[in-house]
C-alpha cells in the first residue's frame, strides 16, 4: 500500500512534524485527491495554538472534538487519484480545486445551502484532516471545482482567501450608496479582496495597513489610496478627503485596533464587514452606533454556490493575480513562523 506523508499537529502550541500513514481508500462517494498545492492561511495559526484571542486575557478553546495527530491546511488543489464506488470514475486524473467548507449535509443550514454555517461541520483542515499532506480524502465529488485555465496556485487560494474576500465584498454589493470602499489589512485575504473589489465595484478602492511594503504592493496592484493607520491625524485627513468617511469598509484584520480604525472612518449610514480573526475585544459607545447609523456584520468563508460564482469569475479572466510564493510542503513550520512574525506579503503556497 502506498504511503501518505502529512505535516501534522501532534501537540497544540508546538511545531508541526511529519507523520506517515497508509494512503486511505475512498469509500462511498469519497474522493482521494493527490495534493499539488495548499495555501498557508492565518487561521491555521489559531488552530495550531489551540485557541482564539477573545481579549481581556480570555481565550476561545479551538481544541474540542479534535483528535491528534491532525493535518491542517484548507486551500487545496490537486489531482484526483482514486474515487469511492459511488463517485464518478471518469474523475480519476482530473485536476481540481477542493471546496473545504463542508457541512454535515443534514441540518437546516446545510439543506439551505449554507454548509459554511453548519455546527457539525466537516471543514477540511479545521475539523477533519486537510491539505498539509500528500493526499486528502474529500467526502464527495461535488466539492471539487474545475479551474482550468486558472493557474493552480490561484485556484487553491480561491477556496479560502478568495471565497472569504468574495463573500465579505458581496455583502456590500447591493447597498444604495457606493461612493467609496476601504479594505483594512493586506494579508493573503486582503490582497485577494483588492483584486476582487476591482472586478466587483465601480468605485475607487482604498486600503489601510501597518506595513509600508504591503501598502506599496497594494498601490501597484490597483489601490487608489493607501493609508497608514498610525500616521498622525490620519482619521481627520480621511474624513476630509472622503467628504465624511467611507460608505463601505471590510476589516480583513479583525483586531481591536483595526476595528477602532474602521469605526472612526466609516461614514454615516455606512457598513463594516469584519472577516479577520486576529482577535481581541472591541468597545464602542452606544451613541456612536445610533449617531453614525452604522451596520457591522461578521463574515467567515462562503457557500459552495459562492465558490462556483467566484471560480467562474476567475476562469473568465476577471480576477487579477495576487502576490504568491511557492515553497516546499516540508518547510510549512518555517513559513508558519514567518507568517506569525508578520514577514509574509500575499500568500505562501506549499507544494508537493
CATH number (domain holding residue 228) = 3.40.50.720
Task: For residues 319 and 290, state if they share a domain.
Answer: no
Work out the angle at residue 52's Cα, subtended by the Cα atoms of residues 49 and 58, and round it to the nearest 5 degrees.
Answer: 115
Decide: 295 and 268 in contact? Cβ < 8 Å.
no
Please report the pLDDT score of residue 1 as a whole number.
Answer: 61
Task: For residues 12 and 143, state if they share a domain.
Answer: yes
Please report the pLDDT score of residue 258 as a whole number.
Answer: 96
Q: Domain containing 274: what range? A: 172-298
How many Å apart are CA 81 and CA 221, to the nearest integer?
A: 37
Please report the pLDDT score of residue 176 as a whole number.
Answer: 86
Q: Residue 333: pLDDT above 90?
A: yes
Please report the pLDDT score of residue 282 as a whole number.
Answer: 87
Task: For residues 64 and 102, state if they share a domain.
Answer: yes
- Total domains in the chain come to 2
Question: 256 vs 58, 193, 259, 350, CA distance in Å?
Answer: 14, 21, 5, 31
Task: For residues 96 and 18, state if they share a domain.
Answer: yes
Last residue of a domain, one of 266, 282, 298: 298
Task: For residues 286 and 317, state if they share a domain.
Answer: no
Residue-wise pLDDT tens digits, 286-304: 998 899 999 999 998 999 9
349 sits in the region (left: phi over 0; alpha: psi -120 to 50; else beta) called beta
CATH number (domain holding residue 118) = 3.90.180.10
Give 16's pLDDT tier (boundaries 50, 70, 90).
very high
Mean pLDDT value across the chain: 94
Quote the percentage of the chain above a pLDDT of 90.
Answer: 82
How many Å apart are CA 70 and CA 48, to the nearest integer?
A: 10
The more confident residue out of 85 and 187 is 85
Q: Give pTM, 2 decimals.
A: 0.89
In a domain, 63, yes or no: yes
Question: 233 vs 228, 236, 288, 292, CA distance in Å?
Answer: 11, 5, 20, 20
Amino acid at each position: 500500500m502506498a504511503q501518505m506523508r502529512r505535516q501534522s499537529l501532534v501537540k497544540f502550541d508546538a511545531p508541526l512534524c511529519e507523520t506517515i500513514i497508509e494512503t486511505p481508500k475512498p469509500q462511498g462517494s469519497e474522493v482521494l485527491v493527490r495534493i499539488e498545492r495548499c495555501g498557508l492561511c492565518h487561521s491555521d495559526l489559531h488552530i495550531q495554538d489551540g485557541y482564539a484571542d477573545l481579549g481581556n486575557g480570555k481565550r476561545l478553546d479551538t481544541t474540542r472534538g479534535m483528535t491528534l495527530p491532525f493535518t491542517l491546511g484548507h486551500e487545496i488543489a490537486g489531482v484526483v487519484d482514486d474515487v469511492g464506488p459511488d463517485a464518478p470514475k471518469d474523475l480519476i486524473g482530473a485536476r481540481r480545486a477542493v471546496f473545504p467548507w463542508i457541512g454535515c449535509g443534514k441540518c437546516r443550514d446545510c439543506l439551505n445551502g449554507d454548509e459554511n454555517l453548519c455546527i457539525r461541520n466537516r471543514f477540511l483542515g479545521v475539523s477533519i484532516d486537510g491539505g498539509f499532506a500528500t493526499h486528502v480524502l474529500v467526502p464527495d465529488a461535488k466539492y471539487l471545482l474545475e479551474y482550468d485555465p486558472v493557474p493552480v496556485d490561484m485556484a487553491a487560494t480561491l477556496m479560502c482567501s478568495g471565497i472569504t474576500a468574495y463573500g465579505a465584498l458581496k455583502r456590500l454589493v447591493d447597498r444604495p450608496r457606493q461612493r467609496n470602499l476601504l479594505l483594512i489589512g493586506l494579508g493573503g485575504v486582503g490582497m485577494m479582496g483588492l483584486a476582487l473589489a476591482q472586478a466587483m465595484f465601480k468605485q475607487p478602492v482604498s486600503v489601510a495597513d501597518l506595513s509600508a511594503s504591503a501598502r506599496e504592493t497594494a498601490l501597484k496592484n490597483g489601490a487608489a489610496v493607501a493609508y497608514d493607520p498610525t500616521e498622525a491625524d490620519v482619521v481627520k485627513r480621511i474624513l476630509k478627503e472622503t467628504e465624511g468617511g467611507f460608505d463601505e469598509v471590510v476589516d480583513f484584520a479583525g483586531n481591536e485596533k483595526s476595528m477602532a480604525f474602521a469605526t472612526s472612518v466609516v461614514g454615516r449610514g455606512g457598513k463594516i464587514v469584519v472577516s479577520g480573526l486576529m482577535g481581541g475585544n472591541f468597545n464602542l459607545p452606544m451613541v456612536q452606533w445610533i449617531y453614525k447609523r452604522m451596520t457591522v456584520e461578521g463574515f467567515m468563508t462562503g457557500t459552495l454556490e459562492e465558490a462556483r460564482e467566484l471560480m467562474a469569475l476567475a476562469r473568465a479572466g476577471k480576477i487579477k493575480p495576487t502576490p504568491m510564493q511557492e515553497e516546499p510542503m516540508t518547510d510549512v513550520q518555517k513559513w508558519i513562523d514567518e507568517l506569525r512574525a508578520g514577514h509574509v506579503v500575499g500568500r505562501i503556497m506549499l507544494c508537493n
